[in-house]
Amino acid sequence: MNEELALRFEGIEHRRTTFRLGPLSLDIPKGYITAIVGPNGSGKSSLFRLALNLTQPDSGSLTMLGEKVGKYPDEYMKQRIGYLSEDSSSHDDSIRGNSKAEFHSFWYRNWDVNLYQELLQVFKIHDHQPLSKMSKGMRRKFEFTLAMAHHPELLLLDEPSSGLDPLAWKSMIEVLHRYMDQGDRTILMATHIVEEVRRLADYIVFIVQGQVLGVYEKDELFSSWMNLYVSCERASHKSLENMPGQCAIEHAGGTTYRVTTDRAMEAEQWCRQEDVAIVSRGSMELDDILAVLMEQSGFGIRAYEARGHGK
Ligand SMILES: Nc1ncnc2c1ncn2[C@@H]1O[C@H](COP(=O)(O)OP(=O)(O)OP(=O)(O)O)[C@@H](O)[C@H]1O
């Protein structure tokens, strides 16, 4: 058993009529924030449902906080986890916020009424309303508050900022930073928001069509991926293909080419050696990197068209 891991997916496969997740293996380190990033329908929420034992894999095994998922009753594991699902449950619509909180206080051993009240104030929530009467953002903030208030060791957040206004989003980021400051806490979050990943994540997992494309340390990822605009007499598609980490080459006019590399430092060194002038450098955003990775793995638009589809 690895004490350093919050979650371990080992050879997990989950088949549905129109979708197959895996087979995949994935380690989520303890003490860090990991963001799962991928297009709609790629399997992010499915990973959460498997971790929470809401659905079971067809093969493989899953370990969470050192325990095999499914070995103990869910009630035991859920004491240690805070979960914010993508959608609110309609079963709770008629319940008032404070009644739901009362239920949580009874059920969770570590329920912290002071933290609960503090977060209500931070997010300006009035918990006497029925949940169905709260606005989408209000309800999201309330459910986030509930997920936090029993001091979970592990937070599973499925698109946490969905529906939040910019001020509430900032508050949420601060609350999450404060949560992590306590040490030995872990967050696994699914998100489409690039800025959220930039501000929060230590690690990034890219997932597409049920397959993990890679796990990356965030700062390393952003510093190693770059668009280099290069120019030289000899510059031709052919010679630039030898640039280290070269992932894509596009003619940008005249003798200038845009080369995408995932090994920026080595690529620049190569340019100096080969007498290729670097005209400018462009950092890459997460969605650009994901698009290139998808092309490389055969999941991208070009790869799709090359297989004779989409014409
Ligand atoms: N209850 C279900 N029954 C059958 N198929 C399902 C069910 N829930 C999800 N799926 C399918 O599983 C696939 C992955 O869905 P999932 O919700 O895990 O994706 P996601 O990455 O979280 O997407 P999004 O970014 O849109 O939230 C989709 O093709 C979806 O249609």
Is the model's pLDDT at 35 over the cut of 80? yes
This model of the complex carries an ipTM of: 0.95
**Digit-coded pLDDT (tens) for 131-187:** 999 999 999 999 999 999 999 999 999 999 999 999 999 999 999 999 999 989 999
Query: What CATH code is carried by the domain that includes residue 286?
Result: 3.30.70
What average pLDDT does the chain have?
A: 92
Q: Do 195 and 261 share a structural domain?
A: no
Ligand 1: residue of 36, 45, 54, 290 to mutate (most ligand atoms within 8 A of CB) is 45
d(CA 139, CA 2): 37
Structurally, the chain folds into a number of domains equal to: 2
Whether residues 196 and 252 share a domain: the answer is: no
CB contact at 8 A, 240 and 259 = yes
Cβ–ligand 1 contact at 14 (below 6 Å): no
Residue 206 pairs with which residues in a beta bridge? 37, 214
CATH number where 153 lies: 3.40.50.300
Q: Are residues 29 and 168 in the same domain?
A: yes
* Cα–ligand 1 centroid distance for 19 (angstroms): 8
Task: Name which residue sits closest to atom 24 of ligand 1, judged by CA.
Answer: 40
For residues 119 and 258, membership in a common domain is answered with no
> Where in the sequence is the domain holding 41, given as residue range(s)?
5-220
User: 205 and 261: one domain?
Assistant: no
Domain shared by 164 and 51, yes or no: yes
pLDDT at residue 52 in the model: 94
pLDDT greater than 70 at residue 23 = yes
Is residue 311 situated within a structural domain? Answer: no
Model confidence pLDDT, tens digit, residues 259-306: 999 999 999 999 999 889 999 999 999 999 999 999 888 887 665 566
Instruction: Kindly state whether residues 262 and 301 are assigned to the same domain.
Output: yes
Q: What is the dihedral of CA 274, 276, 277, 280, to 10 degrees?
A: -110
Task: Give the closest residue to 294 by CA, choosing from 221, 219, 206, 227.
Answer: 206
